[in-house]
Chains A and B, each alone.
Chain A
Amino acid sequence: MDLHYTQATETPHERAAVDAVLGPADSTWSTGDRRAETESHSAHAGHAARSQRDRLLPALHAVARRIGWISEGALNYISRRLTIPPAEAYGVASFYALFAFEPRPKTVVHVCEDLACKAVGSDALIAELERTAGPGEPQCGGASMWLRSPCLGLCERAPAGLLTVAGDEPHDEPLEFVTALRVAAALEGKRDFGFAPTQPPQHGDPSLRLLRRVGTVDPASLDAYRAAGGFRALRRAFDIGALGVLREMTASKLMGRGGAAFPTGRKWEAVAREPERPHFIVCNADESEPGTFKDRIIMESDPFALIEAMTIAALAATCDFGYIYIRGEYPLATRRIEHALEAARAHGMLGDDIMGRGLRFDIELRRGAGAYICGEETSLFNSLEGYRGEPRNKPPFPVQKGLFRKPTIVNNVETLINVPDIVLHGGDAYAAIGVADSTGTKLFCVCGNVAKPGVYEVAFGATLRELIELAGGVAAGHRVQAVLLGGAAGAFATPDELDAPLTFAGMRAIKATLGSGVIMVFDETVDLEAMLVRIAAFFRDESCGQCVPCRVGTVRQQELLARLAARRLHGSPDEERSLLAEIGQVMRDASICGLGQTASSAVESALAKLNLFSSAVPVDERTPV
């Protein structure tokens, strides 16, 4: 490919950052030594470089972490090294919220402005930051800055933040219970605010299965994991073989926990059957649905379980390689997984001859960069491959043409950590837990206005009320106003619906969804209209922009909700509401992917079930003030 580059060149710092992930450039053709002034077309860098396209995101991260932003010269250097047209590289890079293309301060405090944090008063925090620390918008300078962020997946420690410091030794840390003082301290250079995973609220409960090691077993020690029973399931998997594993998985009736509730055994069998090679397994750890934090807690506190589960999947479906795609805002989980991968390799639990049983398999960790849509499986593939995170058309499905267009298993973190127990104790024993259509235990992210927010594990069949009580209920003197189930893409339940069982069927009956397991409780002090406005703004920000119904529909929905909330309508209330319904219908019916198809669901359920925006009248019918 004959590519053209602008004259901008990289600084030595930028080059060092890129070389640290891509290795030193081996030919002057691709180093950028051949400058634009003399010859602006670079020669063929050959197939080896082209097939490295999937290194684009890691290379962009490297520059962003070292410099704080990505300059034209840095982008040119990356494009040259990887033989990517610079316009395409820019198109990819500018897709992500965590990358900046104008000089940005090295210290950035991201402050969550999303639902669970709002429920506990982050609006006041943000207003104070606006007064004291700048507007929180991308276009501001200085030595440090704060920025608004969508849900950071720390909802049980709301209000939440994330500190990122670029430099030769980059530093990232989650911030819990954020106050304006904490933000100010971070902006002034304080580090190490002491974020540490804590024991889950149900700690010590002997019925815990998925959470039993969380907060109990040292997540940094492979020996500790082994001593707690780790890798016994993998040994059994070797004993019963691929077909045995597939049989147990199917018998377990495990359904995917990432939102779509697809039977996991069927997915694995489909990939196992595909003659085309190689096969991949991808762990979807992009967890960005507002209100969701369960996968983070697992990865921070039980990373080896994920590795064991993925290795079992590799054995069952002959996957040659695995990836964990983790959202870019999870620094601690990222470090813990990285450490666990290294330890597993060092102990022969990953590599050329796992456990001496002849299995060759390894896993690579890849970081997202601020894009909710990259949790959608085909968008995740595109992102990982170095393309824009736009969902692909289905069919073909991932089991046929997934990552790198090869047969691919993609599973959620929680789905996967169910696997070791299924293999160890058998699929039938697993299926005996829970209820007929929803087997096993389920993690719920209970957050918002409850006494003890956190991740809870219960067998399927528990009711919504039981979960809320488990989490200590709403504060004394307060009552439940509404519950958001499944996150921004989910639906509301009313106080009358609290006895609904949290099963796939039970949720259908109240026109809701389990989604990613979010139970966000709002007491009567919460302004639900403001929550809907925020949900609409979230989808407007997170739409990939590929298809018209969602690209424009999410904007029109946000605008309309802003009008309803401000009680300044364009037409009669009925006209505005039927317009909102039509916007919802085209998004649901004609959007390419699940984002657009569900972008109106919480809004519609709120309007149907909760008495909101009741006194909204058209602008010209209001009494003049």
Chain B
Amino acid sequence: MSVSDPGFARQVTLQIDERSIDVPEGSTILEACRALAVDTPTLCYLENLTPVNACRVCVVELEGSRTLVPACSRKVEGGMKIKTDSERVRTSRKMVLEFLGSSVDVSLVSDFSRQMQRYGSNPKRYGDAAKPALAGTRDGAVAGHHHASDGQTASTVAQPVKIDNELYVRDYSKCILCYKCVEACGTDAQNTFAIAVAGRGFDARISTEFAVELPDSACVYCGNCIGVCPTGALMFSSEYEMRDAGTWDENKQVSADTICSYCGVGCTLTVHAQDNKIVKVTSPADQDVTHGHLCIKGRFGWQFVQQRDPSVLDGLANGPVVLDDVEVPAPA
């Protein structure tokens, strides 16, 4: 009998908010919460990545534990007694949301404002936002040497958008440091290791070596980091430009799945279009082949297809589209 076989997995019984539940051994508390339809906020957790449990918005109270525990990564044990809505849990979630809401541009994080409302977060308590950093200042921050603030304004991570290639932009004013892009670029998917966390404390940031521009880095423009970024900090240039121009409108967008035809792997592409133009390509996270991850051809090849033959879009409303095998030029 194999434990990893879901059909035979041993069941573990625990209590969540005084309700008893059986889940397979090896599940996380989050999975148990979801099985009971307990609404649990998450930010740094993603099904297809190794949990880093860094954001702490998912914490729950575990009887017998001095501190709260992260639901997303803590494995269930028989007899656990968990509270998901105690005063301590509510305060911690409220504060985590408030800390992020007051230091990061969270305007594009899905569900964020609802969760803030739910927990009564008020990011305004810390005062007006401090002036954004000049380009390069946060990249040059030295560990252990912050400029002590007088507290009259609230420190933030605001800084200019990094636009250094044609395919995607990096707006680290929106970065909550969830580590997802680093994982996607590293061993969890891409194995390119173009980006890592640099610096320390509030000055910690996602960076290439010496903060060189992407075209000088190891980046191969697979876009997998964009695919996992929960905040819009990493964004397709197409989307960024349309948002900038005020033309981005998700209500007007349609999407359809197709199989990428660039090579024989058979990745599923979800093609999103607005006003008869492809605006981005993603891949479903639950897809067996890709787990949501693609390469530059699947992710960005459409730009060249579209330029060459706009008629590929005609089929979009009715079903799958086929992206021909075209040469994808190296991004500048």
Q: Interface of A with B (CB < 8 Å)?
A: 1, 3-4, 6-7, 72, 75-76, 79, 85-91, 94-97, 99-102, 137-139, 147-148, 150, 370-371, 388, 393, 537, 540-549, 551-556, 558-563, 566, 568, 570-571, 575, 579, 582-583, 585-586, 588-592, 597
Contact = CB atoms under 8 A, between A and B. Distances in A.
Given A86-B209, A540-B201, A97 B176 contact: no
Contacts of A563: 150-152
A545 B199 contact: yes
A72 B73 contact: no
A87 B195 contact: yes
A150 B145 contact: no
Given A6-B209, A87-B194, A559 B151 contact: yes
A88 B193 contact: yes
A393 B73 contact: yes
B252 interface: no
A540 B146 contact: yes
A589 to B, nearest CB: 5
A254 to B, nearest CB: 23
B155 to A, nearest CB: 5
Nearest to A563: B151
Contacts of A138: 142, 145
B202 A545 contact: yes
Contact of A370 (B95, B143, B210): B143
B231 interface: no
Given A559-B151, A592-B53, A96 B143 contact: yes
B158 interface: no
A542 B146 CA distance: 10
A559 B218 contact: no
A188 B105 CA distance: 47
B177 A551 contact: yes
Given A91-B207, A95-B143, A97-B143, A586 B92 contact: yes
Given A137-B145, A541-B145, A562-B150, A95 B56 contact: no
Contacts of B198: 90-91, 94-95
Interface stretch (B96-104, B242-250, B312-320): B96-104
Nearest to A92: B196
B263 interface: no
Nearest to A584: B95
A398 B122 CA distance: 39
Contacts, number: 216
Interface in B193-235: 193-204, 207-210, 212, 216-218
B178 to A, nearest CB: 9
Most B CB contacts (10 A, CB to CB) among A85, A371, A548 go to: A548
B201 A545 contact: yes
B142 A552 contact: no
B279 to A, nearest CB: 29
Given A552-B103, A563-B150, 9 more contacts: A4-B192, A6-B212, A7-B216, A75-B210, A95-B199, A545-B200, A562-B151, A589-B59, A589-B92
Given A72-B209, A87-B208, A541-B146, A548 B96 contact: yes
A99 B73 CA distance: 33
B49 interface: no
Contact of A566 (B95, B146, B150, B193): B150
Contacts of B20: none
Contacts of A6: 209-210, 212, 216-217
Contacts of B287: none
A547 B196 contact: no
B54 interface: yes
B311 interface: no
A552 B200 contact: no
A541 B193 contact: no
Interface in B285-332: none
Contacts of A554: 201-202
B125 interface: yes
A13 B75 CA distance: 50
B29 interface: no
Contacts of A568: 150-152
Given A548-B100, A571-B125, A586-B96, A94 B145 contact: no
B67 interface: yes
Contacts of A552: 99-100, 102-103, 202
Contacts of A559: 126-127, 149-151, 154-155
A387 B92 CA distance: 29
Interface string B75-86: 000000000000
A150 B143 CA distance: 12
